[in-house]
Chains A and B, each alone.
Chain A
Amino acid sequence: MKITTTLITALSLATTPVLASDVVRISGWGGNDLVVVNSLLNEVLADDIRAAGITVRYEPVEGDFAQYLTNALSAGTAADVFYVDSFWGAPLFRSGAIAPVSNANQAVADALIPALNEAFMYNGQLMGLAKDFNTLALQFNKDIFDDAGVAYPTMDDTWHDFRSKLQAVSTNLGDVHGICVVPDYARFAAFALGTGWSPFNEQGHTVLDDRFRDAFEFYTTLPDQGAGVMAADVGQGWMGGCFGDETTAVAIEGSWISGFLRDQAPSMQYGTVGIPVHPGTGERGNLIFTVSWSVANDSQVKDSAHKLIELLMSPKAQQWVLESGLALPSRESLGNNPYFNGTGQEAEISRVVFNGASDGYVEPFAFAQYGGDWKSIMDEALGAALLKERTIDDAIRHAQQQFDRLTGR
């Protein structure tokens, strides 16, 4: 009996087809993203993933993802595939813990908006594929502009036009401000970059030159010029908050504001145009906020990990992301997608934000190996000038000293 059982077991094992299924662990942040990734894996790509012989184990992380990833990569416990934000990517790329994009995925990389690939270049190698992105755009409340009798902002507005319109709104309506400004480089950059200034020169140093001063003065004096107010003075922490409660006529935010407005101000009629252009250069400045899919260098299933990323970045997956209205996919060809030609305000904001990645002086929201240390110097200078704790020249001089210490000169 025992022999018979053993023979049957051996026979059945021999006739069972071998399923070479690599288990690929993927990791990202929790919150809303959990639903998005689960839907993408289980509803859109399930068959493709199975056909590729891959089993995906999804491990979302709540809390500080950058810190988790740094610890996990250094301890060798990181997932095979994970998000890398352009803001904190450089130190991880430099550590050698992340594998460059494989040759097999080069075709995918070539299909992406070039500026997105720039955000993940390190020492001439592409270290991740931008899964989606956002840029800044100008949202304006149509009713407020109508009530004030002021023309809507347009794509051709210069800084001066922009400021004049905000001043006119404030003057004509009294209880509505033009814009609420925040001491945050992530918004101020829309003006600083438009002058042609760059956060780092060719030697990798930060130099706050006259172009920078031009933007710094324009931005920090918007409240003095009667064109705006500090967000903190109207009880808000971001431009979207002031815009959502109709305290201000405009905001400078990415497409993430559309979900907020859908909830907070569902009846608001708003339009979206690009950032105003600098009167001198005739260009607009913009930041790209993006996150890549990257692979751990010590992954035991590197080929499958790269294959999985290829699927996650496939036209089918990106089309689903776009149509879900969850994020802006990074394939350049999707710029021609019918979704962007819609007349709705959310289609409009998506179109302007998508085009923002290729329009004017665009930089990734990344500061080499300095990360938050760089940004905090800039934010402090903006805060000091906006609060009148330093004059514009003092704030710039103090910031330059700190940048010299940080980036050298």
Chain B
Amino acid sequence: MNQSMLRQERTAGLMFALPFCVSLFVFFVYALVRTVLFSFQTYDLFSTPEWVGVANYIALLTDPLFALALKHSLAFAVVVTTLQTGLALLLALAANQKIKGRGAFRTIFYFPSILSSAAMTLIFLWLFQRQGLINQGLGWLSAHGGLIVTGGLLFFALQTLQFLWKRRKYTWMRWGDPFNGLVSFAVTVVVMVIMAGYGIGVRALEQPVAITWLNTREVWGPLPRTIWAIVAMNIFTTVPTLMLLYLAGLQSIPESLYEAARIEGASRWQQLRHVTWPRLMPVSFTVVTLGIIGTLQMFDQVALLGDAAPLESKVTLAYFTYHNAFPPGGSPRIGMASAAALVLATLTLILVLIQRAVGVSETTND
């Protein structure tokens, strides 16, 4: 290749990279530098910024709302990342089964992720009302608790009876055999309908279940009840996307590995434990990393709650940042918002590095 062609190729390469470099510089490098500068200043978007050193960071440390936001964000990240990773894996394993109507199941599983989080939040706001579907469902469960427990026990007993009977006849059968499960289920349903008809196992509630999900200050475990509602919303919309990643990962595992494992006498659990899980490590790394980043930066679902929930019960770090930048009816506090944004960014980076060091590995270890 002569010099002229080499120069031309280099120029072409630079031209291709230029748009990305420009956008990276403007929207990341420049914005980051400005944010760092603002975090050492007081600024309300109108008056000249005033240098205050680390005062904004000290103010953050002494602000109870920031402490609350930090606690909520960390707890939310741990809870949601754990739940969504587990559920995504389970759904992917289910959707990977060679069963009839597999395409339809996959579509149904994936469906929630195509809806916008704004639309989903509004739907969930309606579901979580004091007289919403969630409370009505809980009310139904509470009223029919006895019936459901009885049904569960009956199913277990029927399945065990079939298992023992077949064993007695020296016929091989797993306890969880689907066909026998269907028979047990059908008998259970018939018995439950009859019981319900006679009012057995059903109790009348003195008061309808009226849990206040959103406009409340109640705390359940590590999170306010309001954020538990957001956990449900968030998982519902993110799990399908993560399931898709796991599904792609599952399909990339060679069938020969399972065949070899089966020849060695590995059970389904052992195949999952020693073949599937190690081969899914890179996917799990992606899923957990995306989960941590996404959950720490969760904002829209909190913002869309609006006045439906008290600030203290819904605030997260991302919302705290926005709330300081654009306090409703108040002066913008850009310095505080910038400091909080940098704390959030640093925290995200640290958590991802920790998870990379001690958590899920990004290699298959083989």
Contact = CB atoms under 8 A, between A and B. Distances in A.
A384 B330 contact: no
Interface string A351-375: 0000000000000001101111101
B329 A91 contact: yes
A246 interface: no
A95 B43 CA distance: 11
A74 B329 contact: no
Majority secondary structure of chain A interface residues (helix, strand, loop or mixed): helix
B46 A371 contact: no
Most chain B CB neighbours (cut-off 10 Å) among A71, A234, A369, A380: A380
Contacts of B210: 233
Interface in A373-388: 373, 375-376, 379-380, 383-384, 387
B131 A88 contact: no
The size bracket of the interface on A is 35 or more
A233 B129 CA distance: 8
B46 A97 contact: yes
Contacts of A73: 46
A63 interface: no
Contacts of B310: 376, 379-380, 383
Interface string B203-236: 0000000101001111000000000000000000
A74 B217 contact: no
Contact of A371 (B212, B308, B328): B328
B331 interface: yes
A220 B328 CA distance: 25
Nearest to A367: B329
A188 to B, nearest CB: 14
A371 B331 CA distance: 9
B329 A88 contact: yes
Contacts of A383: 215-217, 310
Interface of A: 66-67, 70-71, 73-74, 87-88, 90-91, 94-97, 183-184, 230, 232-235, 237, 366-367, 369-373, 375-376, 379-380, 383-384, 387, 389-390
29 contacts: A67-B326, A71-B45, A74-B45, A88-B328, A90-B329, A91-B330, A94-B331, A95-B46, A96-B46, A184-B307, A230-B130, A232-B129, A232-B131, A232-B212, A232-B215, A235-B129, A235-B132, A366-B329, A369-B331, A370-B329, A370-B330, A371-B329, A373-B328, A376-B311, A379-B307, A383-B310, A387-B215, A389-B217, A390-B217
B312 A380 contact: yes
Nearest to A85: B329
